[in-house]
Chains A and B, each alone.
Chain A
């Protein structure tokens, strides 16, 4: 799959001397949903701002659809729709006026039928004549998405699209994003909700302290870094582990009532079969067992801590 955005050796130092981005290299593939994860202040918004033309880079090069964002900014920017993190809206404008304004700003001829479709897709059609200040937070967020889509962009940036949005609306937003992807739009989203990245993304990038720590396919990432945990609920409590089980890294928890065994899913041998055999030999019986896989959140926390 070809790259639609290419970021090379990008750095940004603010006037205060703060280095927000340090030599960032990143390629976004055409048609994918890319989730950019990172703690607060990691550089997510700065990176998006530079690609979209809101902030100037200090060093490096960015191309969008093969067009340099600085020398060929008109072509590059016309491919992008941006939904920023904060709800910046013209409170006194109507929904219809503000979305039409955005289309004009991007140099597109009027197309009421298209604007109607966007508003209907985002369940905003009934509110088209309402002033934005009368809308709820979730609706304002959708107005901002409608503005970003008003000029038929090929790329959509969603900076924390579901921050402060309730669960039901968040799921509705995910649906919108999926539909957009199906229509061929490349989507880059930043999020604090790891489950969102887990649910939506094709690929995941982790940024920390201005550096890209990792970029990986979501499923590969989960397999590569994912650990599994086997928990055995014992019939009787153990005061200590028998010597015969010392070769396994076992933890005795709940005052000896449960036995916990962590293993790596990427390893060829997990050691489970022999563990269960040795437990039987040692006469340790259990009532129940369960396994859990570490979530993206665990992986993320690990990565950020070690980077």
Chain B
């Protein structure tokens, strides 16, 4: 194991975050605060409690997940796409490092950033609404699992993309809608039966449901199903990355 190389990639990527602090941390925190102002305070005050929790409090886990998902994808996809774009990828490919080590460096850094961001947003939420986390360990487990899984997914998008347009396409057209429709702002149980069934096809529902459970013990689906689905997505991403490196797809051809 080339630990020094993993460390080098990891620190390089983390340094990029500090250099671009405004985009990396400040901007998601500002936009989440706006969600709290609009949905939590303005609209939320007119909505009665959801499953025994005030609306402002109810949306906290969903909002954290929304940011963690989108930021994990954005961080990881940009992290690997940028060296491809400017050509510095040559050095990564010619270094004595395994694919696993490359993924560990890039995905580790992207996931770390998302986790830090998730925690900052959680703290920000605490300024707007009273927070109580019933299962902190499970909360962290869901946070880490989601950050890692979606960073892997972002890594795949970054390798697949051959232009900035494609880099934005999947997050904009697929992930954001799925997150909004995944129960960030409501419980899928509030949907009519037919739409409820459709909503269960959305993988994000399971992530948000599990995460929300760790806060309030309120869940749209059982926690074990949530974990099972997250792990299944994780394994799927790992399998795709294994295939990418094995064939050299968009990297070595």
Contact = CB atoms under 8 A, between A and B. Distances in A.
B115 interface: no
Interface size class of B (residues with CB under 8 A): 20 to 34
Contacts of B15: 97
A105 B97 contact: yes
Contacts of B43: none
A101 B2 contact: no
A102 B8 CA distance: 8
A80 interface: yes
Given A101-B8, A107-B2, A82 B90 contact: yes
Q: Which of A80, A107, A108, A109 has the most chain B CB atoms closer than 10 A to its own CB?
A: A107
A55 interface: yes
Interface in B4-49: 4-5, 7-9, 12, 15, 19
Interface residues of A, number: 32
A14 B5 CA distance: 30
A108 B96 CA distance: 11
Contacts of A84: 87, 90
Given A73-B96, A91-B86, A105 B8 contact: yes
B88 A106 contact: no
Q: Which of A53, A76, A80 has the most chain B CB atoms closer than 10 A to its own CB?
A: A53
Interface string A83-96: 01010111110000
Interface string B44-86: 0000000000000000000000000000000000000000001
A231 interface: no
Given A15-B253, A101-B12, A105-B97, A54 B90 contact: yes
A86 B88 CA distance: 10
A53 B93 contact: yes
Interface in A123-164: 147
Interface of B: 2, 4-5, 7-9, 12, 15, 19, 86-88, 90-98, 248, 252-253
Interface of A: 14-15, 52-56, 73-78, 80, 82, 84, 86, 88-92, 97, 101-102, 104-109, 147
9 contacts: A14-B253, A53-B94, A54-B90, A54-B94, A92-B19, A104-B8, A105-B9, A107-B97, A147-B91
Nearest first, the 9 A-B pairs at minimum CB distance are: A104-B8, A88-B87, A74-B96, A77-B96, A52-B94, A105-B95, A107-B2, A78-B96, A54-B93
